[in-house]
Structure 1
Amino acid sequence: MKIATYNVNGVNGRLPVLLRWLKESQPDVVCLQELKCPQEKFPVKEINAAGYNAIWKGQKSWNGVAILAKNYEIQQVQNTLPGDEEDVQSRYIEAIIDQKVICCLYLPNGNPYPGPKFDYKLAWIKRFKRRTNQLIKMELPAILIGDFNIIPTELDVYKPEKWVDDALFRTEVRKAYMELEKKGWTDSIRKIFPKEQIFTFWDYLYHAYDRNAGIRLDHILLSPYLTPQLKNAGVDKYVRGWEKSSDHAPTWIELE
Structure 2
Amino acid sequence: MTKSVRIAAWNVNSLKVRLPQVLRWLGEQAKADKPIDALCLQELKMSDDKYPHRELEAAGYLNLVAGQKTYNGVAIIVRRSALASMSSDIETTFINPIRNIPGNADEQQRILAATVCFSGLQPLRLVSAYFPNGQSPDSDKFAYKLGWLTALENWLKVELANNPRLALLGDFNIAPSDIDVHDPSKWIGQNLVSVDERAAFQRLIDLGLSDSFRMFEQVPKSFSWWDYRMMGFRRNAGMRIDHILLSDALKTKCSASLIDKEPRKWEQPSDHAPIIAEIQA
Q: What is the TM-score normalised by the length of structure 2?
A: 0.88
- Residue aligned with 2:136, SS: coil
* Counterpart Cα distance in 2 of 1:193 and 1:128: 29
Alignment of structure 1 residues 1-256 onto 2, 5 Å: 1-25=5-29, 26-71=35-80, 72=83, 73-85=93-105, 87-98=106-117, 99-138=123-162, 140-193=164-217, 196-256=220-280
Determine the C-alpha separation between the residues in 2 that align with 1:183 and 1:55: 26
Q: 1:19 to 1:183 in 2, by over 3 A?
A: same
Note the C-alpha offset of 1:194. 6.1
Q: Which runs of 5+ in 2 are unaligned?
A: 30-34, 84-92, 118-122
- 1:55, 1:76 within 8 Å by CA — same for their partners in 2? no
Name the residue aligned to 2:88. Answer: none
- Match of 1:165, as an amino acid? G
CA distance in structure 2 between the partners assigned to 1:11 and 1:106 by the alignment: 14
What is the TM-score with the length of structure 1 in the denominator? 0.96
1:92 maps to a residue whose letter is I
Distance 1:76 1:37, change over 3 A: farther
How far off its partner does 1:225 sit? 1.0
User: What is the RMSD of the two structures over their aligned residues, measured on CA atoms?
Assistant: 1.3
| Contact 2:243 2:275 survives alignment (8 Å) | yes
Change in 2 beyond 3 A, CA 1:223/1:36: same
Q: Is the contact between residue 53 and residue 74 of structure 1 (CA under 8 Å) also seen in structure 2? A: no
Determine if contact 1:33/1:106 at 8 Å carries over to the other structure. yes
Task: Name the SS for the 1:30 alignment partner.
Answer: strand
Aligned residue for 1:190, secondary structure, equals helix
Displacement of 1:183: 2.5
Question: What is the deviation of 1:74?
Answer: 2.3
Task: For residue 152 of structure 2, give the secondary structure of its aligned residue in structure 1.
Answer: helix
* Matched residue type, 1:82: P
Between 1:193-202 and 1:1-10, the stretch displaced more is: 193-202
Range that drifts further, 136-145 or 21-30: 136-145
**Sequence identity of aligned pairs in percent?**
38
Question: Structure 1 81/138 Cα, relative in aligned 2: closer, same or farther at 3 Å?
Answer: same
Q: Secondary structure at the match of 1:222?
A: strand
Q: What's the secondary structure of 1:193's corresponding residue?
A: coil
- Kindly provide the CA deviation profile for residues 131-158 of structure 1, in whole angstroms up to 9, marking residues without a partner as x: 2212333361101110001010000001
> In 1, distance between residues paired with 2:241 and 2:116?
24
Unaligned runs of 5+ in 1: none
3-state SS of 1:254 partner: strand
Q: Name the aligned partner's letter for residue 116 of structure 2.
A: I
Aligned-pair CA distance for 1:214: 0.5
